[in-house]
């Protein structure tokens, strides 16, 4: 048995996963960090503390047998770019390196973003996409980016080619959800509310080249709430706005990157309204919803592939 451990300590989720390379299946466990009711997020120091508390129990729950691990992988940074850093990833780095040292096995470092992409591809049996170029949209509470992906030296290499210049899509979802009295994080609740609306909004996204700006979405939703618009319509407008923005970014990238295969990953991309639109119109690949939110499965898969393929 060739087992590979993956650890991911993002800003809102502690997660760990075991990847069995021979059986080509993965088992993941995760726990949302505790966010005070009414708060819009967590300070990095608080996130780091929560990860340190959560990891031991999660690792225990995986039932790792002594001597079965071949290597350990962990998220050490948000993105594959110089200077990319968040303190919350120190919890995964510390745990991963300690386990590797104690077991006498190698460890590998990856970006949280690469893990998201690999997890999405693994969930729909499309790891073959990593053998050639493709575009990936990573859309979450901390990221709204289009990423050019390519294979290099047996690894998945990523480069950001477009991004939000202000508010991230997940932040917008949570803020609008907060205005509507929804809990944090608000994504699943906002989607459920939006599905009750029969409205279809024509949105003009704010784009600067292929980059986008989403801060106006918060203000527009506040105006709808002030005008007593039904909550379901406000929720639907929020999702339609994000959908139109992502489409605008994709079309703006077409002159340079052509019609490369497109993957959508990240917590916001578990939304069924967004998924159905891009699958139908562009043949896009989406992670299964349970693999869209932060999880360590992609890190464990990348660890196994890196160890086996050198």
What was the pLDDT predicted at 38?
64
Is 162-286 the same fold as 3-124+291-309? Answer: yes
SS3 91: helix
Residue scoring higher pLDDT (59 or 40): 59
Residue 287 and residue 283: Cα distance in Å, rounded? 13
Instruction: Tell me which CATH homologous superfamily contains domain 3-124+291-309.
Output: ATPase, nucleotide binding domain (3.30.420.40)
What confidence tier does 42 reach under pLDDT thresholds 50, 70, 90? confident
Q: Are 214 and 244 in contact (CB under 8 A)?
A: no
At 138-159, the pLDDT tens digits run 998 888 999 999 998 878 889 9
Q: What's the first-to-final CA gap in the chain, in angstroms?
A: 18
CATH fold of 162-286 reads Nucleotidyltransferase; domain 5 (3.30.420)
Tokens 């295969």 -> residue: 261
At 65-94, the pLDDT tens digits run 878 999 999 999 998 888 899 999 999 999
Q: What is the average pLDDT across 7-14?
A: 92
Q: Cα separations (Å) of 82 from 72, 160, 163? A: 23, 12, 16
What confidence tier does 40 reach under pLDDT thresholds 50, 70, 90? low
For the chain, give every domain's residue range. Answer: 3-124+291-309, 162-286
What confidence tier does 309 reach under pLDDT thresholds 50, 70, 90? confident
φ and ψ at residue 241, rounded to 5 degrees: -65, -45
Show contacts of 47-53: CB within 8 Å, 24+ apart: 47/9, 47/11, 47/12, 47/87, 47/88, 48/9, 48/87, 48/88, 48/90, 48/91, 50/14, 51/9, 51/14, 51/88, 51/91, 51/92, 52/91
Q: Tell me, what DSSP letter sits at residue 64?
A: P
Q: What is the average pLDDT across 292-302?
A: 93
Pairing verdict, β 285-286 and 69-77: unpaired
Residue 130 and residue 301: Cα distance in Å, rounded? 12
């Amino acid at each position: 048995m060739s087992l590979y451990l993956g650890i991911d300590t993002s800003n809102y989720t502690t997660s760990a996963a075991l990847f069995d390379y021979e059986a080509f299946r993965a088992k993941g466990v995760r726990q949302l960090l505790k966010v005070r009711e009414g708060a819009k997020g967590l300070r990095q120091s608080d996130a780091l503390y929560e990860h340190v508390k959560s990891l031991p129990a999660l690792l225990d729950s995986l039932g790792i047998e002594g001597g079965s691990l071949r290597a350990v992988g962990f998220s050490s940074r948000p993105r594959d770019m110089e200077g990319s850093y968040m303190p919350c990833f120190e919890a995964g780095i510390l745990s991963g390196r300690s386990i590797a040292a104690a077991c006498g096995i190698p460890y590998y470092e990856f970006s949280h973003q690469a893990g998201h992409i690999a997890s999405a591809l693994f969930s729909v049996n499309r790891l073959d996409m990593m053998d050639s170029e493709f575009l990936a949209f990573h859309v979450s509470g901390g990221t709204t980016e289009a990423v050019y992906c390519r294979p290099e030296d047996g690894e998945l290499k990523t480069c950001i080619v477009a991004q939000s210049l202000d508010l991230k899509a997940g932040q917008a979802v949570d803020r609008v959800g907060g205005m509507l009295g929804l809990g944090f994080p608000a994504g699943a609740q906002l989607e459920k509310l939006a599905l009750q609306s029969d409205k279809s909004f024509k949105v003009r996204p704010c784009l600067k080249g292929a980059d986008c700006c989403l801060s106006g979405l918060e203000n527009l939703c506040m105006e709808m709430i002030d005008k007593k618009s039904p909550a379901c319509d406000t929720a639907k407008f929020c999702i339609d706005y994000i959908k139109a923005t992502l489409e605008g970014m994709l079309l703006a990238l077409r002159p340079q990157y052509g019609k490369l295969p497109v993957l959508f990953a990240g917590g916001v991309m578990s939304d069924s309204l967004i998924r159905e639109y891009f699958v139908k119109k562009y043949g896009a690949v989406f992670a299964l919803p349970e693999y869209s939110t932060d999880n360590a499965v992609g890190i464990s898969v990348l660890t196994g592939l890196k160890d086996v393929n050198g």
